[in-house]
Structure 1
């Protein structure tokens, strides 16, 4: 993949659209005063976005428009977009501008049985912006989805969750010890959010990144599969093979990358993981 240069021009001159979410974007919100950032996070009048990408077929059902937010509290060892960890690396975008961007594609998304997905980073780090954007998109009649690590799920009310047709929950691990190893944080709030979604009967997909030597632990996957099956609302499980497409970002950002020499899982390894989730009665691929 072509390595994109650091984008440091004025935010208003930066395209909202990226060729891919792997494009490097940094420092685009540095000029926004901290007081304005705090106000925006509280009101949702403005969000910080890495970019929009169009034509996605892997971020929810159908063909999707995806908005990638910045800011994340996890430090996943296999993260392919560490530039999205920092809020001010994103483009400051007013809520109205974000709504207008989705509106451009609304008719096409409905015709292609697709929709709009908010991903990240971690979109619920900007929960007010996310909630207001989802409410506006639902009024367009467009299917909505969020890809989230779930730790800030309590920030959304039950009514706000009704504006999200599908929650794609990125499950990093099931045991607290393994979760801390992978992300640096505990997962009690993640599991609580999953149970809450179950009680509310909200449709979910689960995602699990398979990393040889880090997450390809059969007993961990079996426990996660059993937990997912117990929820009763998991429509499918996606096993995502680890890749090195974001390695260059770790290097350019001068962050220690522990998986620099790790290899993607074999086809057999992926098949074994899929089989574990299917054995629990879940649809998995």
Structure 2
């Protein structure tokens, strides 16, 4: 059984084309800006769901996917439930449905390796390139995330690099340049997405009686987003502000 938090039909932000987005329960990171704090706990308010039920939903929505769309697994952190997802990924492949995994890349084991091997595309969230700042932002190291990126490159697995831009936490010229130097020769990076910082999940913290740690952090101005885009395009051909 798979612990599902929620679904989004006709999603257009998490991978190519129109997609069914499945938000899974459980996460190993503790990102200060997490928009889905209700998905962090391993159990939470999630519903145990049979893989066949998700498959049925995906097949029913297949006519909307067109040539580019498909299903995206987000969260939470999908690799948190890698073992349970493997049979579902196999069934989805049999149905010819494009599979995308949105991941922080911070969990690694044989099940995760198989999951990435079955996926068509990985959306890899690199929260910060500087490890100390990454720890401040997520309470975890970024070492496994960078190893995961290297594995995707070595194994010919296409991926998108995603970077959330937070003033004072992940918007440092030297860190973005170091990230660019590290990844500039990767052939498997199909695109880079700059994700503007937003506060859409703040009401969830209030509802859960949790303190939102980034109070007072302002959202990006158009000028800041353009400055970041200019930094990234020095290293990558396809850079988008999402």
2:90 to 135, 157, 161: 135
Q: Which residue of 2 aligns with 1:97?
A: 53
**Are 2:226 and 1:277 equivalent residues in the alignment?**
no
1:145 to 100, 103, 107: 100
Q: TM-score, normalised by structure 1?
A: 0.80
Determine the C-alpha separation between the residues in 1 that align with 2:140 and 2:111. Answer: 21
Decide which moves more: 46-55 or 151-160.
151-160
**Are 2:78 and 1:161 equivalent residues in the alignment?**
no
**Are 2:182 and 1:227 equivalent residues in the alignment?**
yes
Q: 1:68, CA displacement in angstroms?
A: 0.4
Unaligned residue ranges in structure 2 (runs of 5+): none
Determine the C-alpha separation between the residues in 1 that align with 2:50 and 2:151. Answer: 31
1:145-166 deviation per Cα after TM superposition (whole angstroms, max 9, x unaligned): 0000001143436554332110
Q: 1:55, CA displacement in angstroms?
A: 0.9
Q: 1:254, CA displacement in angstroms?
A: 2.0
Q: Which residue of 2 aligns with 1:20?
A: none
Determine the C-alpha separation between the residues in 2 that align with 1:225 and 1:281. Answer: 8
Write out aligned runs for 1:6-155 (5 A): 46-89=1-44, 90-109=46-65, 111=66, 113-155=68-110
Asked whether the 8 Å contact 1:63–1:112 carries over to 2, the reply is no
RMSD: 1.5
Asked whether the 8 Å contact 2:51–2:85 carries over to 1, the reply is no
**Are 2:140 and 1:182 equivalent residues in the alignment?**
no
Asked whether the 8 Å contact 1:194–1:231 carries over to 2, the reply is no
Asked whether the 8 Å contact 2:85–2:115 carries over to 1, the reply is no
Q: 1:259, CA displacement in angstroms?
A: 0.9
Highest CA radius of gyration, 1 or 2? 1
Q: TM-score, normalised by structure 2?
A: 0.94
